[in-house]
Structure 1
Amino acid sequence: MKIFSYKNIWALVAAAAGLTACKDTSYLDVDAANRPPLSAYISFVNARPVNAALSFYTFTDKITPTPVAINTASDYYPTVFGNVQINITEGTNTSYKASYQFGNSATFTATGRPNGPIATFYHTVVAARTASNKADSLILFYDDLKAPESGKVKLRFVNLSPGAGTLNILNGTTPLFNNVAYGRAANSALTGETLSAWTLGPFQSVNAGKYAFNFKDSATGTTVGNSSTVTLEAGKIYTVFTNGLVQGGPAFGVSVLQHPVK
């Protein structure tokens, strides 16, 4: 049996210390103040059926440098993450038209909505109206901006036309998405095992080409509206959303937003 003396032990400790001294610990010398800040990235969309531009804020910080016109989107801007209050003002007014606190719910539910923006991730926040068209509201979607499969397009559809009801979406007569409720993205999940930050507001893989969107009331099959022909290019990422009003003005319409590939 081999016996270690204290002399042997101290020799081992000294050798271990020597090995430790050879390790690169330069990363420990980075001053916290010099580390790049973490941010969430948000694109803001004005989808209200009101012909007025909007400014978007996180808490009291104005994020959009210029107001966002109706049925358009801003660039993605870095901002805070986690439990975040997002606000909108209309035109030159300084009072908030709508405010919503994202991230103060422990679960994803229809009433609690998703958790807040995620650090380093991309999001879309939409200013819209409630289903009754009596108040302004805000909706947050998580954006997976990885490139589509070769030869494919990533497409998301969002129903944002108050009064249009739950919609089925077709390309001409070919079904694309079914039973999309107002304020929701096609194939999004609010309950069940598929529920996660990545499935709320998902993009679907579709073929590139020309699309003539046809929108039908899912309950009656009645055509609610349609779009002119839209060309979706391979390798690109799009959100298509309905806007305006089926009855009244501005009239029912369709907007196509292109997202950057990250």
Structure 2
Amino acid sequence: MKIFTSIYSSKITRIAAALLLTASALTFSSCSKDEMETTSISGLMVVNASPSYGTYNVYINNIVSPVNTKGALPFMGTTAPYINITPGANILKFTTASNTESVYTETTNLDKDKAYSYYLINDRPNLSGLLVQDDLSLTSAEKAFVRFINLSPDAGSLDLAISGGAVLVGDKAFKSASDFISADAKPYTLELKSKQSGAVLATIKDVTLTAGKMYTVVAGGFTTPGELQQPLRIEVITNR
């Protein structure tokens, strides 16, 4: 029996409902009752996948306060849930926890009524970013949905597998992500395997997938970390 099933076909387009964005269809009255203007928004989740022990604040455009309201983001920390944001060009600025000067700034372009995850990657002084669109329209009363993204700078191509079992997503190079695939809703032990050697590089136990929810499994950190760098590990982020 196949535990994970590809869902590349039959894409559902009900993005607005799945974004969990409560203001995705704000309407404003104009001078005439018959004239209405609709304002669309996008959803953005920011993830600190920079493999160091540094923590970062995230600023969007000219907002004077960081959008991470619960403290500077540690390694694999997120701004979940999604932030409501205006479509189009948006400036993301990252600072250390103790200083408001930028350590990395990038302009991202977001389409309306779409959800995105933005990953801060690499280590200082070579920080960079990766923007990935999140298709949150998939629904099921029985299955969960999972994708895999490789953000380890030195691990090479990786496979995501069930411990002692099948490869779920194979051959993902650095900065590449799979589509979401459906999965039985139950606990798992997951492994990262080197595509080249087949060696198990990292393991995470007791990952419980819940029906109807969507998850991103992230490979982050270094296989050979320096003194102030994070070792390779698996992180599971809930998208919905």
TM-score (norm 1): 0.70
Q: Taking structure 1 as reference, are residues 30 and 240 closer, same or farther at Cα in structure 2, changes over 3 Å only?
A: farther
2:186 is aligned, of 197, 201, 209, to 209
TM-fit CA distance, 1:246: 1.2
Is the Cα–Cα contact under 8 Å of residues 147 and 236 in structure 1 kept in the other structure?
no
1:121 aligns with 2:126: no
Partner SS for 2:187 = strand
2:156 is aligned, of 158, 165, 168, to 165
CA distance in 1, matches of 2:98, 2:104: 15
| The structure with more helix, counted as a fraction of residues | 1
245-254 vs 59-68, greater mean Cα deviation: 59-68
TM-fit CA distance, 1:35: 5.1
One-letter amino acid matched to 1:58: I
CA root-mean-square deviation: 2.5
Q: Taking structure 1 as reference, are residues 28 and 128 closer, same or farther at Cα in structure 2, changes over 3 Å only?
A: same
Is the Cα–Cα contact under 8 Å of residues 51 and 222 in structure 2 kept in the other structure?
yes
Q: Taking structure 1 as reference, are residues 47 and 31 closer, same or farther at Cα in structure 2, changes over 3 Å only?
A: farther
One-letter amino acid matched to 1:230: V
Say how many residue pairs are matched. 204
1:228 aligns with 2:232: no
Partner SS for 1:73 = coil
One-letter amino acid matched to 2:50: R
1:58 aligns with 2:64: no
1:162-200 per-position Cα deviation (integer Å, ceiling 9, x unaligned)? 2111101111221101110111112xxxxxxxxxxxxxx
One-letter amino acid matched to 2:106: Y
Partner of 2:167: 175
Partner of 1:71: 76
| The structure with more strand, counted as a fraction of residues | 2
CA distance in 2, matches of 1:180, 1:134: 25
> Which structure has the higher relative contact order (CA within 8 Å, separation 6+)?
2
CA distance in 1, matches of 2:33, 2:223: 58
Is the Cα–Cα contact under 8 Å of residues 30 and 37 in structure 2 kept in the other structure?
no
Structure 2, unpaired ranges of 5+: 1-28
Aligned sequence identity (%): 23
Q: Taking structure 1 as reference, are residues 28 and 168 closer, same or farther at Cα in structure 2, changes over 3 Å only?
A: same
1:252 aligns with 2:229: no
CA distance in 2, matches of 1:36, 1:148: 26
Q: Taking structure 1 as reference, are residues 228 and 157 closer, same or farther at Cα in structure 2, changes over 3 Å only?
A: same
Is the Cα–Cα contact under 8 Å of residues 38 and 119 in structure 1 kept in the other structure?
yes
